[in-house]
Structure 1
C-alpha cells in the first residue's frame, strides 16, 4: 500500500533551554505598508505558544505530498499533541500496518477513513484486520519559505 505522506523523523521537544524572541506590538501589514513602531510588546517563548501539553508533545518531519492542500509539504516539521482527542476532521499522525503517516481522520457512517489532502491520492478505509493506531493530533506546521 502506498501512503504518500510519511513521517521521516521523530523529535521530542527540549524545554531545558528557553529562547525568548522579541514580539512586536505592531502587527505586520500584508497589504499597504504601515508606519514602523519602535517598541517591543515583550518576549515570546515559542514553546509556550506552540506546545500546550509538553509531556504529550512531539515533533515529526514529513515526506511526500498527499497533504499538500492542507499546507503540509515535504520537509515540514509538524507539532503533534497526544493529549488532544482525534475527533472527526482533525489531522493526525497514525500508524497503519507499521508505517507512520499523516492524514485527516474522518468518521463516516460505519467507516473510519484516513483522508489525504491531495486529489491525486485515494482515501484509506481502516478495516478491522489492519494494524492501526492514532499517535496524536497535528496542532501546528512549521513550513520553511
Structure 2
C-alpha cells in the first residue's frame, strides 16, 4: 500500500499544494504539510503545542480551502508553524488538531508568508490507484 504523501506543483508566481492519502482526511493532512513546507523545512518544526481548528463548507473542495485558510489564520495570529495534523471529517465538517511551535526566524528561516489558499487548481477526488487527493494553489 502506498503511504500518504504531499507535493508541490508549479503555478506562475504562486505554488500548488497537493496532499495524497488513503482517506480524504489523510489527503487534507498532507495538503496542510505541503503548505507548511512552502514556508520552511518541516523537520525543523517541533510539534510542541496544539491548536484546534473547525470549519464546514458545502462541498469537499470548499472545505479544503476553508481548512487551509484556517491554518493560515492560526499561523499568522499565533505566529506559529505546524508540522503535524490530525483531521476528522464528517459530512462537509472538519475538526482538526494542528501541532507546532512559535516561529523562530533564525532556526526556521521562513522563505515566504502564505497569504491564502485559492480556488485556482482546486480539486478533491481519487487518483487512478484509488488514493484520495486534495489540492489548490496558495498565494505567496
In the superposition, the TM-score normalised over structure 1's length comes to 0.34
Structure whose alpha-carbon radius of gyration is higher: 1
Question: Higher RCO, 1 or 2 (CA under 8 Å, sep at least 6)?
Answer: 2
